[in-house]
Amino acid sequence: MGTRTRKARNGQKPRRISRRTFLKSAVAAGAFAATATLPRVNVARAQAPIVWKVQSTWPTRDIFHEVIVSLAQRVNEMSGGRLRFDVLPAGAVVPAFEVLDAVNRGVLDGGHGVPAYWFGKHVAASLFGTGPSFGMDAIDLLAWFYYGGGFDMYQNLLQNELKMNVVSFLHGPIPTQPLGWFRNPVLRPEQLQRTKYRTVGLSAELFKELGASVVILPGGEIVPALERGVIDGAEFNNPTSDKLLGFPDVRKVYMLQSYHQPVECLEVLFNKSKWDALPADLKAIVRNAILAESADFQHKMIDRNSKDLEELETQRKVRVFVTPRPVLEAQLKAWDVLIDRHSKANRTFARIIQSQRAWARRVVSWKLRTYVDNRPAFEHWFRRR
């Protein structure tokens, strides 16, 4: 078989084809068929990764900055390197309280903070992290955000009312925040009067209602302000963050428990145009990475906060007190005043408050009746006389 005959067409004479010519044609056709199935795979592999510049509102040494670094690692691993976050600490591109604006403008692709930091733009932003709680803890608030309508309310607030080109996801429920650091124990609400005190969000109005003089500062500026006497007392967030920021170096009285920020969650922001342009699978990866990091953060806070509180007491000689009930009750009465004032003045605020109140009535009622009170069990095993 030295040659093949090609079938005649249109009445033409059949043309004889050599074996060599036939084999060359077959190889070429096979190569074309093989490469025709490959471009998508090869192009995907050849494409440069998507890299987003994400700045936190936290100093590098804070545990909250660790969260966004860890989230970036999860996204990189889960996406096979297709999407990467270039994570920067507070102040690297813009000051902490300007992160939302920077993400909106595209100066940053993403940001990490808490909604209370946008209180100056809209009072209702604080309800997504620094609000009255109605008996909820931060896990309850996060559940409301994703299953009780909070997510849509917050996107509407940011995108439609504030005209911000951003999308936001809450994560990382934070334990009840301490009343804070003082020179002397706060045993009566009257002691807060005329105290120069640092806090943020609606909490600032709460302490003003209690007679304090409030100064709003980002985390990295609090300890220097205490040291210089610009403020008398301050809260930031939790034993781990407070220790790392240096609070025990300038104050030795630590008041645990408070209603000024009984619920708060962390927030990751993305520029909405960038987010909308992501492929569906990368969006799913980011969303699931956020949920995974949220759960891991809870576990980490249980471990780190408990260890660091022990260290503050035993090694750093910090005097730790539980805030007395009269101070807590004064805070609740102040919340009543603020809720009434802002609900009358702002429809959006009123709508969010109503949603949270309805959620809390159902959820907290269920929890109080379902979850056993663990104080008797703890006292049985660890406080025997």
The verdict on residue 338 lying in a domain is no
User: What is the pLDDT at residue 357?
Assistant: 98
C-alpha 257 chain-centroid distance: 22
User: What is the pLDDT at residue 29?
Assistant: 46
Assign residue 166 the CATH number of its domain.
3.40.190.170
User: What is the pLDDT at residue 220?
Assistant: 86
The verdict on residue 123 lying in a domain is yes
pLDDT tens-place string over residues 261-318: 999 999 999 999 999 999 999 999 999 999 999 999 999 999 999 999 999 999 999 9
User: What is the pLDDT at residue 384?
Assistant: 67
What phi and psi, each to the nearest 5 degrees, are found at residue 130? Answer: -135, 75
Terminal C-alpha separation, the chain: 104
The verdict on residue 336 lying in a domain is no
Q: How many CA atoms lie within 13 A of 11 on its CB side?
A: 0
The verdict on residue 234 lying in a domain is no
Q: Which residues contact 371 (CB under 8 A, 6 or more apart)?
A: none
The verdict on residue 126 lying in a domain is yes
The verdict on residue 10 lying in a domain is no
The verdict on residue 71 lying in a domain is yes
The verdict on residue 5 lying in a domain is no
Q: Which helix (H) or strand (E) holds 167?
A: strand 166-174
Give the pairing of strands 50-56 and 83-88.
Answer: parallel
DSSP 248-271: GGT--EEEE--SSSS-EEEEEEEE
Q: Which residues of 294-315 are buried (b: 16+ CB within 10 A; e: fewer)?
A: beebbebbeebbeebbeebeee
User: What is the pLDDT at residue 47?
Assistant: 78
Low-confidence ranges of the chain (pLDDT < 70): 1-46, 384-385
**The pTM is what?**
0.85
Please give the torsion angle defined by the CA atoms of residues 201, 184, 209 and 172, in that order, rounded to the nearest 10 degrees.
20
User: What is the pLDDT at residue 42?
Assistant: 46
Query: Is the alpha carbon torsion for 181, 182, 184, 185 positive or negative?
Result: negative
pLDDT tens-place string over residues 129-163: 889 999 999 999 999 999 999 999 999 999 999 99
User: What is the pLDDT at residue 85?
Assistant: 98
What phi and psi, each to the nearest 5 degrees, are found at residue 268? Answer: -115, 125
Measured CA to CA, the distance from residue 89 to residue 229 in angstroms comes to 26
Closest CA to 63 of 174, 138, 167: 174
In angstroms, what is the C-alpha Rg of the chain? 29
The domain total for the chain is 1
User: What is the pLDDT at residue 219?
Assistant: 86
Domain assignment of residue 148, given as a range: 48-173+264-302
